[in-house]
Chain A
């Protein structure tokens, strides 16, 4: 975890505000990639229920695949080790940044590059998908609020793509 004073983010720290849309950089957070054949092993380790259905999200844990989960937590959260259990926990906190897309036009602007049918993408869902050619994890936190997890090196492009779509 890099020091807050020396962080250099790949996108502007000032939010983009347009007509019915705001795009901003979320605060840094902890991200863990959790892998396990048996979700019960993860539940034993973390002490919380993990969602079993792919695309579901519960308490910051999103089920991305049949044996894959993404855990997002505020910085400073205590993450247990997992020794002895048949699970894998990998710290990927700095691999991605999160863009918050908010406002009544957010679904429309995301659909500029993301082919998912967002009318059928209910609040509380999370999935890996694609924005034009860039892989993202899309999370719907509210009707008008999405989180876009994008790999750091793709983030400047993603920012330009979203803000350009918001101008139109």
Chain B
């Protein structure tokens, strides 16, 4: 089983306590009214699908309950680092 470091609990915890929550660092539109259909499409549906380093949101759902960000390699499934939500992209 993969162990994931939770930046809030500050320890490595078993993978099944966590839930994947999509790509990280997708900013919500500040002024939604001004968004065109294309911009909405990009915001809602267009996601990166890299082979390698991927920034992702995870949630320690069966633990402290917090969302955080992680950098995971999609080839090796190794977690490079995890950091608290709101911290700059690593």
Contacts and interface: CB of A to CB of B under 8 A. Distances in A.
Nearest to B18: A130
A68 B66 CA distance: 11
B21 interface: no
A65 interface: yes
A115 B66 contact: no
A129 B17 contact: yes
B16 A130 contact: yes
B9 to A, nearest CB: 5
B10 interface: yes
Contact of A54 (B9, B16, B17, B62): B9
Interface in B1-26: 1, 8-11, 13-14, 16-17
A127 to B, nearest CB: 7
Given A54-B8, A65-B8, A66-B8, A116 B13 contact: yes
A128 B66 contact: no
Contacts of A65: 8, 63-66
A121 to B, nearest CB: 10
Interface of A: 54-55, 64-66, 68, 115-116, 127-130, 135
Interface of B: 1, 8-11, 13-14, 16-17, 62-66
13 contacts: A54-B9, A54-B10, A55-B9, A64-B65, A65-B63, A65-B65, A66-B64, A66-B66, A115-B1, A115-B16, A116-B14, A129-B62, A135-B62
